[in-house]
Amino acid sequence: MQDGKNLVIAIVLCLVVIVGWSYLAEYMGWVQKPDPAVVAQQQLAREQQAQQAEAQRQAQEAARQETLAVPAFTPSSGQDITVRSPLYEAVLYSGGGALRSFKLHNYHTTIARDAPQVNMVDPQTARVAPLGLVINSQPSWSTGQWSVDAGKEGLSLEKGQQGVLRLVGQVDGLTVVRELTFSADTYLIRETVRLANQTDQARSVRLSYTVAADGSNSSGSRYDLMRVAWDNDGSLSEESSAKTLEESGVQATGKIYWAGAMSTYFLSAVLPGEAANLTVKGRLQQGTYRAAVEEPETVLAPGEQRELRVSYWLGPKVRSDLAAVSGELVKSIDLGMFHLIAKGLLWLLEFFQKYVHNWGVAIILLTVLIKAVFWPLTAKSYASMEKMKKLQPLMGNIREKYKNDKEMMNKEVMALYKTYGVNPASGCVPILIQMPVFFGLYQALLTSIELRHASFISTLPGTDLIWLADLSAKDPYYITPIIMGVTMFVQQRLSPPATDPTQQKIMMFLPLIFTVLFLGFPAGLVVYWLVNNILSIAQQKMMAKKFKTLADGK
């Protein structure tokens, strides 16, 4: 086979695998492409909230006819109850137990000093009553009458403490008791629900648990989208298309371990006590992503009671915290097909950070370690490239001699390779072998909440301009991606030139293509790739010097 064809295939394959995966996945439908309407709708909802009040009421009234839709929050007689813990401050309404607010103490919306805390239930989200129970398609928070066992001061929890809120209500002829257990050391809220039929006739009962979140939980970039997600029998499913969620919503039935609304870094989820034969429904309503988990229908005889258990997670997607809850919940952090490698790299990254106390420096140290591990393999590749350099004149002669006889040209070129023991595709082999590591690290850096608002170099040296103060966001001045493109160009110049004109054009545009692609990448990933390129250049120069010394010695 023609050597040029082999090399072109190898180069193109490397390009597709390295930088084309996410784009190819979008076009093939493996992941949802960000819908610009989401960002526009969310912005419109914030800026024109007052003007849209009447439209929202009409939309909510029409949504009553939908399976998943719920009416606007209509308070029954009650009061706001505040639960304070070292991790969060939650405000619930005693008339049903729906959340009014859920602020995270350790997370802020931006890197600004005066940035507000992340609120998992902001006023827009509160309108659809997250944590509210839907009983027989009726919103218990607006149709029932409730009492609560709590004073006006609510609950205040210190480290290691737990507290219980007990709400008792009458909903659709049923007595409903909600016991919500809050813990100071976790974002998990556990609940026991007791249903009692107080009538003299048998009653069919269907209970639904709800959670919700709006676009403020995400940055709106293609790397941090809001979505509805759920785990059905150990398999993660998600939907981020605004059009799909608005028009038809999503629905699934089966062994539902959890379901909720989430961004890359935050999760609002329902965790049913019994996973079997449940239905999850998700929808986007007025800029709010809502998910509900519906229990199977049951029949209560007169005087009969039934007890159900459920939990809720409202907080950051910290791997260790989620894993402590369940092996299924931690899957909300999608590390991709190379998740085992990603987990190992995350462990190493956290190990380095413990000592250097800077995530950017930790990424650099991890890059150096990865480069050291693959050093022998890349050295072998460079040795093959040096042999290819020496064969360039001979290959040119063969191409010129047999330019009108492709079959003979291929035979002679292959014979030349065999004589000198050269594999034309060997330069690409190390890249292909390192791909699982690259993709694992890509997912690790992309999904790790530890990098959210993590600073590397806070300000541009010599200025007060904010620079790499958030490794989960792109470089605001595109300095690192441009330098990365320059290092790719230098690498290309140090590599043997391709003899085929088509190959030369591909190689010439590669640095430019990579630079454009990396302009919007999270800064942490760009730092990794930049440092990797610098180390590769150093290795190439070392190998070139070594071969020159050997050649001079002969």
Residue 420: how many CB atoms within 10 A of its CB?
Answer: 12
Q: How far is CA 109 from the centre of its chain?
A: 17
What are 212's two structure tokens?
């919700």
CA angle 296, 301, 306 (to 5 degrees): 50
Q: Write out the residue limits of the CATH 2.70.98.90 domain(s) in the chain.
A: 80-324
**Which stretches of 57-144 are assigned E, i.e. beta strand?**
80-84, 88-93, 99-108, 117-119, 134-135, 138-139
User: What is the DSSP-derived secondary structure letter of residue 33?
Assistant: P
Q: How far apart are CA 475 and CA 460, in angstroms?
A: 11
Which amino acid, one-letter code, is at 182? F
Q: Cβ distance 341 to 440 under 8 Å? A: yes
- Give the residue among 297, 222, 228, 209 at the shortest CA–CA distance from 267: 228
The burial of 533, by beta-carbon neighbours within 10 Å (0-12 exposed, 13-18 middle, 19 or more buried), is given as buried
Q: Report the C-alpha gap between 65 and 273 in whole angstroms.
A: 29
337: left (phi over 0), alpha (psi -120 to 50) or beta: alpha
What is the token pair recorded at 365? 């140290």
Cα distance between residue 284 and residue 287, in whole Å? 6
Separation between Cα atoms, residue 250 and residue 291, nearest integer Å: 9
For the domain bounded by 80-324, which CATH number is listed?
2.70.98.90
Tens-digit pLDDT string for the chain (554 aa): 334 444 444 444 454 444 454 444 444 444 444 454 544 455 555 555 545 544 554 444 444 334 334 444 454 567 899 999 999 999 999 889 999 999 999 999 999 888 999 999 999 999 999 999 999 988 998 887 888 876 667 899 999 999 999 999 888 889 999 999 999 999 999 999 999 998 889 999 999 999 999 888 887 777 788 999 999 999 999 998 889 999 999 999 999 999 999 999 999 999 999 888 999 999 998 889 999 999 999 999 998 999 999 999 999 999 999 999 999 999 999 988 888 999 999 999 999 999 999 999 999 999 999 989 888 877 777 777 777 777 777 877 887 787 787 888 888 888 887 787 777 666 666 667 778 888 888 888 889 999 999 999 999 998 989 999 999 889 999 999 999 999 998 988 877 665 566 666 777 788 888 899 889 888 998 999 999 999 989 988 888 787 777 666 55
The pLDDT tens digits for 408-433 are 888 888 888 778 777 766 666 666 77
What is the pTM assigned to this prediction? 0.80
CA-wise closest residue to 286 among 477, 34, 546, 53 = 53
pLDDT for 377: 79
What is the enclosing helix (H) or strand (E) of 548? helix 523-553
Going by their DSSP bridges, the two strands 80-84 and 155-156 should be labelled as parallel
